[in-house]
Amino acid sequence: MARIRVAGFGVSLDGFAAGTEQSLENPVGKRGLELFQWFFPTRTFHEMRGDASGDTGSDDAFARRAMEGFGAFILGRNMFGPIRGEWPDEQWKGWWGDNPPYHAPTFVLTHHPRASIEMEGGTTFHFITDGIEAALQRAREAAGQKDIKIGGGVQTVKQYIRAGHVDEIHLAVAPVVLGQGEALFDGIDLRSLGYRTTEHVLTERATHVVLAR
């Protein structure tokens, strides 16, 4: 049976999964890229950029698990782009260029309708205006027997956790302190929701923790 997963989600030692002042220049907020220093050296990341080099090992194994085997993705509006309010035009098509890394139907939560966008590599962005349950239903239909990834951002992940939909959470805890930003688990009692630690692996760049229900 398909699972709903959060995977490869960077978080600081003080619990922030994005920095402040997210913008075109700082997609995950100021200092937010510090949360992903474990990911950028991996072979998985390098292959996404058309390069066969990069590190293998535990970080790469978790990176690959975080990107492969999904039949659909769900993203929040902020994860798709920095634009707020009504779509001014059809030009913005995400942060990733013509060939985004999803390679599957990807459902973007928004309050403002927009036609679907078919990209290279099998990614099609569908814009869902009637909430997280509708997006999940569409994702289930698209994914078939494959898993569904809740790709972010922080508020989208929190909504799906609170609603009881997320089966597994993989956190890559970076050895940095952001001090401020978007707190991932603020107001969420993971224990009462049934989560327990099923894996924890320490590498030079992160501590990988997997929580499951």
- Domain residue ranges in the chain: 4-19+49-82+98-188+203-212
pTM of the model: 0.95
Task: For the chain, 213 residues long, give each residue's pLDDT as a single digit of tens.
Answer: 789 999 999 999 999 999 998 888 888 999 999 999 999 999 999 998 888 899 999 999 999 999 999 999 999 999 999 888 999 998 999 999 999 999 999 999 999 999 999 999 999 999 999 999 999 999 999 999 999 999 999 999 999 999 999 999 999 999 999 999 999 999 999 999 999 999 999 999 999 999 999
E strand or H helix at 125: strand 124-128
Closest C-alpha to 139, from 104, 91, 186, 97? 104
Predicted pLDDT of residue 77: 94
CB neighbours of residue 22 within 10 Å: 20
Predicted pLDDT of residue 104: 97
Residue 7 backbone zone (phi > 0: left; psi -120 to 50: alpha; other: beta): beta
Predicted pLDDT of residue 1: 73
Q: Which CATH number fits domain 4-19+49-82+98-188+203-212: 3.40.50.1860, 3.30.70.120, 3.40.430.10, 3.30.230.10?
A: 3.40.430.10
Closest C-alpha to 172, from 25, 45, 27? 45
Residue 154: CB partners within 8 Å, gap ≥ 6?
17, 18, 182, 183, 184
